[in-house]
Amino acid sequence: MDSQGLRLVLAQLNLTVGDIRGNTRQIIDAIARARAEHRPDLVIFPELAITSYPPEDLLLRPGLRRRVRKALDEIIAASDDIGIVLGLPEYEQDRLYNSCFIIENREIRARYRKQVLPNYGVFDEKRYFTAGNKPCLLEYKGMNIGFTICEDIWQPGPALQAHEAGADLLININASPYHVDKLSVRQRVLHERIGETGLGMVYLNLVGGQDELIFDGGSMMLDNRGKLLWSAPQFATGLFPLTLQRDGKRITAVEQTATEPPQRLDTIYRALVMGIHDYVHKNGFKGAVIGLSGGIDSALTLALAVDALGADNVEVLCMPSRYTADMSVEDAREMAGLLNVHYHEFPIEKPFNAFLEVLAPIFQENQPADTTEENIQARCRGVMLMAVSNKTGKMVLATGNKSEMSVGYATLYGDMAGGFAPLKDVAKTLVFELSNWRNSQGRVIPQRIIDRPPSAELKPDQRDDQSLPAYEILDPILERYIERDQSPDEIVAAGFNTEVVNKVVRLVDCNEYKRRQAAPGVRISERAFGRDRRYPITSGYNEQPV
């Protein structure tokens, strides 16, 4: 063994749930590269690396168990003269564990079973796994290393167990999903465990998009005083070397290079780009189709799609109606030119009139015109977008934002049509922030799109604020009600108008049926629609004062 310290390689990999063969190939390739380029003592892989995370009910398939065993055998065979820290589901008779195996020289030297199984928000681990109850320590280069898995460090118990068993250092493997400011939350948790145990921490995280979840990497090492000594970049794959040395009782990093984390808007934008890229590619689509209205939501969606997929892989349709302002078409053309995407103009007047003609016997008895006619326009556009998707093999990206989805300001089978909704968890005010930020990196969105009052343009002189409170008022109310679970009384006490609050709450509550039919989208908040917030569609509950 080398006396120059403990050489680690942290493998921040972008894996795919259920792709056992592909994930195993990535793991074995990473072992070979690490051996050739860095000669490490240990190569560390993320939580459930063989299956990737979260495998959900795939874990219940008998075939998965066989495939995991075969993959493990192949990885063990690749462990000559190198140690491997590997996350995987461990099947033992009728029990299943979320485990970490330490493999070396074609042997399993030790195994650790995750003790703290999260069962909140996006996590359902108690549905599948049995909790472990013991620490796991191994000695490498004179250092006693304890092993933990993800949620284990969010509670004091497992780290204290390892400390009491004689650990000098903890290695924690993760599949920790992103939300805004999550990196600082993780560092705070690590500080808490270090304060309780005096142990340094090596933290490895998964990278990549998996349906609505984003795993952002950001692996790091903190010493036993809580000082950040080393970190890997967020949203980046790679094999990152880290050498540890003992300095008295303190274990320190030779490479003290902590990567500067991106700023808030930069981080959010990267998460959205990664979500689009991985969802489109991992599901076998050739690119994206977007309806570009000349409004800010579709403009930001287009910018994200081009950054994620490349201009050649994005198809843009501008579908004006009799209510579409000339400036909307002009701005759509300008933006398509700025990004050099495939651009088409298909007016919807003919199909819209055809529907009105066919439905005239019913509509004439139900005058005047109302949202029905507005929704037909949106659905004409949805039909066109889906037709282009079918013909080209490119996925339609829905362009609605979280504010609209919260209050149902969207048309089923119209502007909600699509396979993925990048802005589903992005409030309207944040859409404006991100658009301005993206332009600060290089102008891609015409300024007039950002400056104009938002409008669906489905009837004459329409503006969003005719149907909804101004977004500067609406979004804080939604954030309090949806993400903080505040009651209407609490929101009013914070300074908001009672009538406005009650209207917003009613709209949120009665539009669960729309959200249940919406496309998945990138989760960037701690309380996104879907996995985080599970409400019944049919409900007699009324969020009004008792």
Q: Is 199 annotated as a binding residue?
A: no
Q: Is 282 annotated as a binding residue?
A: no
Per DSSP bridges, beta strands 42-44 and 200-205 are unpaired
Backbone dihedral angles phi then psi of residue 184, each to the nearest 5 degrees: -70, -30
Q: Is 291 annotated as a binding residue?
A: yes
Beta bridge partner(s), residue 230: 221
Report, as residue numbers or ranges, the catalytic residues: 47, 114, 150
> Which conformational region is residue 424 in: left (phi greater than 0), alpha (psi within -120 to 50 degrees), or beta?
alpha
- CA angle, corner 115, sides to 112 and 118, nearest 5? 130
| Distances in whole angstroms, Cα of residue 160 to Cα of each of 85, 115, 139, 145, 329 | 21, 12, 18, 13, 62
Peptide bond just before 54 cis, omega within 30 deg: yes
- Say how many C-beta atoms besides its own lie within 10 A of residue 80's C-beta: 10
36 token code pair = 């050739």
Judge residue 109's burial from the number of C-beta atoms within 10 Å of its C-beta, 0-12 exposed, 13-18 middle, 19 or more buried. Answer: middle
Beta bridge partner(s), residue 244: 6, 253
The distance in angstroms from the start CA to the end CA of the chain is 70
Which of helix, strand or coil describes residue 247?
strand
Q: Is 514 annotated as a binding residue?
A: yes
Q: Is 120 annotated as a binding residue?
A: yes
Q: Is 286 annotated as a binding residue?
A: no
Helices (H), 420-487: 428-440, 447-451, 471-478
Which of helix, strand or coil describes residue 198?
coil
Q: Is 298 annotated as a binding residue?
A: yes
Query: Cβ distance 541 to 438 under 8 Å?
Result: no
Residue 345: which H helix or E strand, with range?
strand 342-345
Q: Is 435 annotated as a binding residue?
A: no
Beta bridge partner(s), residue 243: 7
Per DSSP bridges, beta strands 228-231 and 220-222 are antiparallel
Q: Is 293 annotated as a binding residue?
A: yes
What strands lie across the sheet with 200-205, from one edge to the other?
137-140, 143-149, 169-174, 200-205, 220-222, 228-231
The one-letter amino acid code at 61 reads R
Q: What string of H, E and C letters represents the secondary structure of 136-159?
A: CEEEECCEEEEEEEHHHHHCHHHH
Q: Is 310 annotated as a binding residue?
A: no
Q: Is 401 annotated as a binding residue?
A: no
Judge residue 466's burial from the number of C-beta atoms within 10 Å of its C-beta, 0-12 exposed, 13-18 middle, 19 or more buried. Answer: exposed
Q: Is 176 annotated as a binding residue?
A: yes
Please report how the helices 428-440 and 264-282 are oriented relative to each other, as an axis angle in degrees rounded to 10: 100
Q: Is 295 annotated as a binding residue?
A: yes
The one-letter amino acid code at 130 reads T
Beta bridge partner(s), residue 97: 90
| Binding site residue list for ATP | 291-298, 399
| Binding site residue list for L-glutamine | 120, 176, 182
| Binding site residue list | 120, 176, 182, 291-298, 375, 399, 404, 514
| Binding site residue list for deamido-NAD(+) | 375, 404, 514
